Amino acid sequence: MASVNPYLVFNGNCEAAFLFYQSVFGGEFPYMGKFKDMPPSDDPNCPPPSAEEENRVMHVSLPIGNGSVLMGSDSNSQGGDVVIGANVSISINTESRAEADKLFNGLSSGGNAFMPMNDTFWGAYFGMFVDKFGIHWMVNFDEVPKK
């Protein structure tokens, strides 16, 4: 069964926000990556981050409570600044690629699938969309290393 977690987007102060959340909830960040940590892309639609954006947070996660994870990132020039109040997405973590595809295809029907499901450099199968009601979603399947 899929798990659902909040995903918050900030306009350059994500790290400060998550350090604050960590001070309240406790715990450790399993991952905090900056835009400068991304490998270069051959896609002309994905230019390298500007000097202004390279130290913005690309992704951070903070486990809280019983299995919940608060996640976040900063905006960038590709996506533009976010409007506070409309900067929350629902992130679904699935147990398989098939479940990811099913949920992505079903929930994005009639909406705007602006980032189709695809393999990522961080080892996940991932996509993003806005549904027909204007709700932002992220679907993620973490590949399990083969032993």
Residue 73 has pLDDT above 60, yes or no: yes
Domain ranges in the chain? 3-35+54-142
Report the topology of domain 3-35+54-142. Answer: 2,3-Dihydroxybiphenyl 1,2-Dioxygenase; domain 1 (3.10.180)
- Both tokens of residue 50? 């500007």
Residue 146 has pLDDT above 50, yes or no: no
Q: In sequence order, what are the residues at sequence separation of 6 or more whose Cβ sits closer than 8 angstroms to the Cβ of residue 94?
A: 2, 100, 103, 139, 140, 141
Kindly write down the DSSP assignment for every residue of 39-97, as one continuous string.
PP-S-TTSPPPPTTTTTSEEEEEEEETTTEEEEEEE--TTT-PPPTTS-EEEEEE-SSH
Please state the pTM of the whole predicted model: 0.70
Mean of per-residue pLDDT scores for the chain:
88
In percent, the amount of the chain with pLDDT more than 90 equals 52
- Digit-coded pLDDT (tens) for 107-139: 999 999 999 999 998 889 999 999 887 789 999
Give the confidence band of 145 by pLDDT, cuts at 50, 70, 90. Answer: low
